[in-house]
Chain A
């Protein structure tokens, strides 16, 4: 094995520049997916059959097809549907947000349903309307229980974001690949990219533990 990082190291800043794009996609898609996930989960537990059906159909489609297919449909299909080409980063954010919303909605639904029904009844009996009951009483308790599963989803999202390479977005992955292609030397830049993703996920895991610890303060 002859690994030689000296020729690749000058390209490290170039690879690291992709971090901005990767983080942008992960953060925005994570937040949007989370918000959409909450809405979907509320639809799933709603008493209105139509909302149940819509939310379940949504989850079924986005879980039932490959993520890379969804990305490509959004990116390459946009000119036909919207009449213009949307940017790769935008397509990536939309794609990942829609996809992770499907998974997150299942996590949140399970989290909400695991909360004792008495919590909602206690709020109802005090005359508290549905919205504040959800926002102040049910969701905070649900979040505490589902945080590990949620962190898992964000970790997956961080790693899967490398798929945007396929729609031409210059993220960490694509830059590493390009460096490799330019120098006919793939192992070193790919290893560097691997280290970068690993550090990202480690930080995310650490943050998750931190939040979990704070939420446990009432135990």
Chain B
């Protein structure tokens, strides 16, 4: 589904990703963890080309997105993204947030878009908030709306960039629960997270990044109970 080959990314002279190669299969849930500044978010943002890779190749469903000929907008329609700070459109109601892209990009009818949106809002438990503006919602509610907004495009892949890091502790669970349901529904997911418990419980694989290098790639049980590298051991000692 996603294949990354020798991915490099530099910001000026600062090389953030130093040649990462990996693969994420259909229906797989991958947790990307590592110390801050390790390049996790940059790695994720390269997958839908919010960051332009400096070098290397990325394929999404056999399409090379680093190729300039590839219609990246088309690819992005199939890759939903959830941000740390939600980035809901503040001047639109919750319902409009969900229907905007499907109407504009997929050109489906308004009634279809709204029906679909209401279904998704129900799924994340926020159907009653459809007519509210985002600033009337709590952080956890905003993030659930943001997840529903990404799902409204009916993507096959979902990227999560520290989805619970900006939330008050009591709201983390409601967002993780939505993500858990999504994972169990067979969605292909890449999640940058600091929630080790969640990674351990839900992920099929853990990618451990440090200093722009993919240091470990292992199933969660193996990674958390028996990390091979000293860097992963250090990291886990600090966070667990």
Contacts and interface: CB of A to CB of B under 8 A. Distances in A.
Interface of A: 116, 118-119, 121-129, 132, 136-137, 140-141, 144, 218-219
Nearest to A140: B91
B7 interface: no
Contacts of B89: 119, 122, 137
A122 B73 contact: no
Nearest to A143: B91
A128 B100 CA distance: 9
B90 A118 contact: no
A125 B135 contact: no
A127 B100 contact: no
A128 B104 contact: yes
The B interface, classified by DSSP as helix, strand, loop or mixed, is mixed
Interface centre among A125, A126, A128, A136 (most CB of B within 10 A): A125
A145 to B, nearest CB: 11
Nearest to A126: B101
Contact of B87 (A119, A132, A140): A119
Interface string B152-163: 010000000000
B150 A125 contact: yes
Nearest to B132: A218
Interface stretch (B15-23, B76-84, B115-123): B76-84
B48 interface: yes
Contacts of A126: 76-77, 80, 100-101, 105, 149-150, 153
7 contacts: A116-B85, A118-B83, A118-B85, A125-B50, A125-B79, A127-B74, A218-B90
A125 B91 contact: no
A132 to B, nearest CB: 5
A122 B83 contact: yes
Contacts of A219: 133, 135
A215 B79 CA distance: 32
Given A125-B50, A125-B79, A126-B76, 11 more contacts: A119-B87, A126-B77, A126-B150, A127-B75, A127-B77, A127-B153, A137-B89, A141-B91, A144-B91, A218-B91, A218-B92
Contacts of A129: 73, 105
Contacts of B88: 122
Interface in B131-160: 133, 135, 149-150, 153
A118 B92 CA distance: 15
Chain B interface size range: 20 to 34
Contacts of B80: 125-126
Contacts of A128: 73, 100-101, 104-105
Contacts of B85: 116, 118
A129 B91 CA distance: 19
Contacts of B101: 123, 126-128
A116 B89 CA distance: 11
Interface in B90-121: 90-92, 100-101, 104-105
Contacts of A121: 50, 83, 87
Given A124-B50, A126-B76, A126-B150, A116 B100 contact: no
Given A137-B89, A218-B133, A125 B74 contact: no
A219 to B, nearest CB: 7
Closest 5 CB pairs of A and B: A127-B77, A118-B87, A122-B87, A126-B101, A125-B81
A32 B111 CA distance: 37
A94 B187 CA distance: 57
Given A121-B83, A124-B76, A132 B91 contact: no
Contacts of B79: 125
A219 B133 CA distance: 8
Contacts of A141: 90-91
A144 B153 CA distance: 28
A132 B83 contact: no
B136 to A, nearest CB: 9
